[in-house]
Structure 1
Amino acid sequence: MNNTVIRCVYDGKRAVAVGTTTKNQIEGLLDLVDLHLHGADVLDDTAVAPDEVVLLLVQDDPDTEAEGALRTLAAQLKAPFSVVLKRLTSRGEVLPISGGGLDDLGDHEKYRYTEWRQYLLNLGEQPPALVARLLAAVPREEFRAYPMLTRTNWWSLRLEGLEVAQVGPRQGRLDVGRDYEGRSGPERTTWLSIVPEGMLQVTDEDASVTRAAAAINAFADAWNEALTDQPAKQKEHTLEARVLRGLVPVHASTGRLELLQPSGDLRVNWGSQFPTRWGRTASNAGRYLDALMRDGSTPWALELKTEGSAGVAGYYRHAVGQAVLYRHFIRQAVHLAPWFDRFGLDHTACRAAVVVPEYRAETAAWGERLQRVCEVFDVELITVPERYARAGVLTA
């Protein structure tokens, strides 16, 4: 079994067989839906059934994260056709998969997220003193604190979405980027020019805080200068950071969405990287939502994408599946209701949206196609001004 996606006709129906990773398998379903929406009832001059398509999950194990996610997506689809799920094993068996979506994601023990509630509730209303001191010592609006929702009272400190530190109540560490195959990316190269040793420890001693703040300020200046010397590229972490500090006008059908909680002078980006589950998994790590915003008491799960080397077609389309899965988990996560109650939110009413920069003329046709996929999954497509997605100093 490999990650090859095979498009075919199965029992007179348009079909796709997908193996390996959960990501590939979910994307296979989104691509299948898109193809049938726009390919009608013909596949390579072969007539196929108009009212049903088939996804063959190439996998031996039942009840996996992929199977759970695909069940949810198939059940949430509201199109002129339905998706039938089947499991294709290495022995050549074609086995049925339940046609119902996951209705038991509220079982926190089964889906391994029991401890998340305490992590969330232990955050309190503001970051610990060491984080606050660093924020005060680096007086830049783009320097923000993000709660780390699955580590007790630890915070991620980021410059316009780029992480530069992880800090707890009494200590932390500064570092930027990682080396890949012995090479440093531009962010890390710039950081190493400021802090040659790479990682810098920080404690609550005055001298340590002063040194850490000086390193962050120097890196911010050097990185902004480096960005001015290259074409402004769209970056997802940049767009996310600006959405979560209220700079970006995010307009849904119900009106402009608001931050979970006005941050005031704290410079805290609430609503980032909310953890979710998509199905059964042995991993302790969650699937993290880009941004959680609100319209009154209604939470909105936002999946953000920007244009990159992958273009906009399939890459943006696959975001629809993620938005559906995040929404479904939040609606069912009764165990985490106390955290939503803290913000005055009704988690059972969660809505979902894909947020992307405004299309260029040459990619506008893909926007129309994406809109149709969003509609059949009851996901809103929201576009925002393109300049908010560009890395570098934000200009008027």
Structure 2
Amino acid sequence: MAQDYYATLGVGREATPEEIKKAYRKLARQLHPDVNDAPDASDRFKEVTVAYEVLSDPQKRSILDRGGDPMGGGRGGGFGGGAQGFNFDDIMDAFFGQNGQRGPRPRQQRGQDALLRLDVDLAEAAFGVTHEIKVDTAVTCTTCDGSGAANGSQPETCRTCHGHGDVQHVQRSLLGDIRTSRPCPTCHGFGTVIPDPCPECAGEGRVRSRRSISVTIPAGVDQGTRIQLGGEGEVGPGGGPAGDLYLEINVARHPVFQRKGDQLFCQVSVPMTAAALGTHLDLPTLEADVAGTAEGERTVGLDVPSGTQSGETMTIKGFGVPRLRGSGRGDLKVQVVVETPSRIDDEQRALLEQLAKLREEERPEALMGTHHKGVFHKIKDAFK
């Protein structure tokens, strides 16, 4: 009477091939002598392997289901002991998580992604721009249309593996015959060979070429932003689908503005008298760097109140950078730097000395700390 191989694997008689394979993998992981030092682990490992050999073979399983002995009345040497032995690939699947799929691999494969760094100025990054860029990537060979074969020829079935893509190696061991699969050395796993390769691409199905791409940079991109262009990367081997092209934005330094997120920062210098008395300034906007900007959008007014201290920051709403995700714009932050004259004539000196006398500041005391009023607050008080 044949052994109950279903019970050995712990599956029912209606189990599918996938369920049988899953059960075997689970038991093989538990019982393999390299991971299980129980005295009966080796024998049980042999039993489940034989059971899997029977149940995974439709012909042997049919004999078993009809009440026969698929192993010919005995188990012979170790792992099945039959003429075929067992397939070591299934044990490798159990331990290394392979999916068990066999057969030739396709010549057409997806190409790699490509990365290109694109330099833009601050205004282009803020308001968006369209650039024509040159890309040096692999493209489909136009001579063979990606097949890799010369005109009038085509790939042929490999005579070594007969189109399977892999070859079987049998090795004798104390546990029986061990069969392993390896990629065919003749066709490298493709199952076909190209006897007459295309002279343009040498059988690769692709060649390197420089091409132009029109790229639209959206408004609001920042340093390091990556833009994905689907299908504009490297064409794959065998004329396979192209990968993606990623553009990494590099924003050039601006002579006036600095950017932090959606806000712009700049400094403006005003004379000491203007800071004390107050003034109005017309400042250039970032739009002034964009060709075709209307004259009224090239400047923005800033009122500097009297008594403004050096280092004070004023905000101009809505003149920053447009938001990449969302609506509206950030603000423009203007830091005022008060300039003290380094050279004055006799008349100016006399006026300043008169002001110092009125302010009783001819010999001022040093005020240390951070909470006292500055000199321009005192000038503001004097004019009041």
TM-score normalised over the length of structure 2: 0.21
Higher helix share: 1
TM-score normalised over the length of structure 1: 0.20
